[in-house]
Structure 1
Amino acid sequence: MQSKLIFPELSYVGLGAIDNLYNEVKKLKVSRIIVITEKNLVDLGICSKALKSIMSAYSIELYTDVVPEPPLHTAEKLVQHIRNGKFDLVIGVGGGSALDLAKLGAVLAKNDGDVKDYLNLTGSKQIMQKGLPKIMIPTTSGTGSEVTDIAVLSLDGTKDVVTHPYLLSDIAIVDPLLTMSVPPRITAATGIDALTHAIEAYISVNANDVTDGIAVKAIELVGKSLEIAYSNGNNEEAREQMSTASYMAGLAFYNAGVGGVHALAYPLGNRFKLPHGESNAVLLPYVMDYIRGGCQDKLAEVNLKLNQQVQQIGSVEQMSKDCVNTLFKLNQNLNLPTSLKDYGIEKQHIKMLSDDAVKQTRLLARSPVELQWEDIYQIYSSAYEGKTL
């Protein structure tokens, strides 16, 4: 069976990778740069640390109008700003929201129309121009946005994406040294985000041998390092392993896709403003429990990779059940909420959430078990009660 695989043109991954920024910018022969980042990264000095090598050599504008789960109007404003600013390079520095906006702004600044015209579910326009060159520099280990061609935006009651190969980074620089000061809660949430990407890519109906290999290694690295990075953010080895895991998980899900967890997570972020990583984390055990019958072999393998000390014992069915328990306990060990009740979500909200999630057909189509409205309602109900099946 043939598989189409797409990867970014150039990536630098590992401790000190940011040292390559100056030479890569120099090769582009640019003069006016816009950096899309988050205000707290500027305040904490992380942005200046990332940009140190180019600060004195180029005209750089820091654009910090970035919010988590960015709404459509934030993207529209950024695109217009880039169009008016006559920039010739876009650099994204930050988490997934900053990187998604940077990719989107770089491309749509050189295409006609509004951002809404290019939305996956409702847009009518096709991206025709590649746009400005773009360099993506993540400062968290989770989203994988630096290696995907998707920008996620919040809409009324749901989320939608702009997606096109032109949104792929020209250069991705993944340096774990930029993640050292990430607080424990964000380390936990973004780490589970990376794990969710890897697991959903692994069980996707679009998975293949290449994406499986990448996804399984990412899962193994998360199992080795996430709890260490959470408890000791200064552990360089754990931070490096998590950066690599996040990058690899991004490659895997970009090519194989994510599924039910993300479909159900989007409404949580949009309706209740849960951080994306936490939305994935609270749902991951319950979705895997519900669809376990369609991917038992792979979930048994996930359990082995997350628990290095565990050997293959018992049936595949039992090992897949153990995987669900492992995911639940991982959230507990990271002090992340394990039920929707913990977020103040009420039982009456489950229907609304189900109505929103069932619209995510692009994501649901990749699930190894078909999820209809009734199935989605049952998963949300289990997550509300905090009980697996």
Structure 2
Amino acid sequence: MVGAFSFNTSQRIVFEAGSASKIDHHAAFCLGPRPFLVTDPGIVSLGLQQSCETALSDAGHSVGRFSEVVADPPRELVDRAIGQAVAHKASSIIGIGGGSSLDVAKLVALVARSGENLDDAWGINNALGPRLPLVLIPTTAGTGSEVTPISIITVDEEEKRGVVSPLLLPDLAILDPLLTLGLPAHVTAATGIDAMVHAIEAYASKSANNNPVSRTLAVEALRLLGANIETAVFSPQDEDARGAMLLGSMLAGMAFANSPVAAVHALAYPIGGTFHVPHGLSNALVLPHVLRFNNAFAADTYAEIAPAAFPDLANISNLQLRAETFTQRLAELSEKLGLQTRLRDVGIAEADISKMASDSMKQTRLLVNNPREMSEEDAYEIYRAAL
């Protein structure tokens, strides 16, 4: 019998090549006269936001823009973005870019409208609202932030902290595969692995809200991502593969937004926060080592989803062996895609591991979802194995 659960996602989703250039049409119901874009310098240098801005200006909107978002955005940057949105008298917020831009846009929409103290909003369901209308447009296939009620930023230089609330789900998510065609191979690879981690951890999550909808979405996400990630990396102009990756990332985002992620992310956060390693790569570096740790408790679960990512694994009847092979294939996939595979490859030394293990234990909202209870000593050994 299925137990009680809840499921929340974005109110409206548009998936269409070229849809970003039609934002004035797709988002007419919520934009208002003074939309405000939140993005990063890389997006602006590539001109990926231009079609949105042109469409909005041509439709008579007065458009503002904050384009200073960086990876692992710090609190002071969020405050500056909020200040500029308020000064613009923003009627709506449009986030365009990778996960960092979308996460900042969520908090700008929240605080620019409600005026609440961000320090009181950290954690789960502490945000008060209301927020400004919010449109999110991802340019990477990885975070799924366009369908998650989560915003993660960096405080006190190294600590990752999050606001988690259905208020952060946008009114509209626009998925335009054309915006991902120019994504560099290493970014495509890392964000693609990140999306696979979201699906894997959502499916295996110990959360009381792990549910049939999330599990179904996680399996389909893994099917799309596993079948298309190599093509997207090595044939970057393949629009079909890019679209499949974007869709798979979104489905994985829907899954983990409701059945939360666990120890892979908890151990990845100190890698990103302290050493400024991109989030997707941080996840990829610890993924196989966390799965090996979990296999004593979750082998059957991992075995269930393994064939979605790697169809030939269905031929392995022994579930323990299938789960172990799944773990190994994920490690091999990262290497095949050209990603660094060891912590030492990104400048982390054995002397750093003790602090990383301690810092990972701060991620209690994630660790409670892991299939196997993890101690600081366990985290230390996992980091050592990944070194």
TM tier, smaller: over 0.9
1:200 aligned partner: 201
- In structure 2, the CA distance between the partners of 1:163 and 1:310, relative to structure 1 (3 Å rule), is closer
Q: What displacement does 1:269 show?
A: 0.6
Q: 3-state DSSP class of the match of 1:311?
A: helix
- Aligned amino acid, residue 15 of structure 1: A
The equivalent residue for 2:328 is 325
Q: Secondary structure at the match of 2:362?
A: coil
SS of residue in 1 equivalent to 2:311: coil
Structure 2 unaligned runs (5+)? none
Cα distance in 1 between the residues matched to 2:130 and 2:54: 28
Shift of 1:235: 0.6
User: How many angstroms does 1:317 deviate by?
Assistant: 0.6
Distance between the aligned counterparts of 2:305 and 2:127, measured in 1? 38
Task: Look up the equivalent residue of 1:10 and give its one-letter code.
Answer: R
Over residues 14-47 of structure 1, what are the superposed CA-to-partner deviations in whole Å (9 max), with x where a residue is unaligned? Answer: 4343355222333236111110011121121211
Aligned to 2:50: 48
**More displaced 10-residue stretch of structure 1: 39-48 or 259-268:** 39-48
TM-score, normalised with respect to structure 1: 0.94
Separation (CA, whole Å) in 1 of partners of 2:16 and 2:199: 19
Q: How does 1:97-112 map to 2 (within 5 A)?
A: 97-112=100-115
Alpha-carbon distance, 1:126 to partner: 4.0
2: CA distance between counterparts of 1:126 and 1:340?
Answer: 35
Letter in 2 for 1:218: A
- Residue equivalent to 1:261: 264
Deviates more, 1:28-37 or 1:13-22: 13-22
* Partners of 1:17 and 1:333 in 2: CA distance: 32
Structure 1 residues 296-320: Cα deviation after superposition (integer angstroms, max 9, x where no partner):
1221133212222343324101001
> Would you say the 8 A contact 2:53–2:63 is kept in 1?
no
Residue 161 of structure 1: CA displacement? 0.5
How far, CA to CA, are the matches of 1:37 and 1:236 in structure 2?
23
Per mean C-alpha deviation after superposition, the further-off stretch among 203-212 and 357-366 is 203-212
1:269-289 Cα offsets, whole Å, 9 max, x none, are: 110000001000111111111
Distance in 2 (CA, whole Å) between partners of 1:293 and 1:15 is 43
**Is this contact kept in 2: 1:303–1:326, CA < 8 A?**
no
Which position in structure 1 is the counterpart of 2:249?
246
**Residues paired across the two proteins, number:** 381
Contact residue 195 and residue 222 of structure 1 kept, 8 A: yes
| Shift in Å, 1:73 | 1.1
Distance in 2 between the 1:59 and 1:213 partners? 42
Structure 1: which 5+ runs fail to align?
385-389
What is the CA–CA distance in structure 2 between the aligned matches of 1:49 and 1:106, rounded to whole Å?
22
Q: Is the Cα–Cα contact under 8 Å of residues 37 and 94 in structure 2 kept in the other structure?
A: yes
Residues 113-124 of structure 1 mapped to structure 2, 5 A cutoff: 113-120=116-123
Q: TM-score, normalised by structure 2?
A: 0.95
Name the structure 1 match of 2:38: 36
Alignment match, 2:128:
128
Residue 183 of structure 1: aligned partner: 184
SS of 1:335's partner is coil
The answer to whether the 8 A contact 2:121-2:128 is kept is no
Question: SS of the counterpart of 2:127?
Answer: coil
d(CA) in 2 for partners of 1:81, 1:54: 19
Is this contact kept in 2: 1:72–1:116, CA < 8 A? no
**Whole-angstrom CA distance in 1 between matches of 2:265 and 2:185:** 23
Q: Structure 1: how far apart are the matches of 2:23 and 2:194?
A: 26
1:77-226 counterparts in 2 under 5 A? 77-120=80-123, 126-156=126-156, 157-206=158-207, 207-226=210-229
For the aligned residue pairs, the C-alpha RMSD in angstroms reads 1.6
Q: C-alpha separation between the residues in 1 aligned to 2:204 and 2:16?
A: 27
2:352: which partner in 1?
349
SS of corresponding position for 1:109: helix
CA contact (8 A) 1:82 1:109 kept: yes
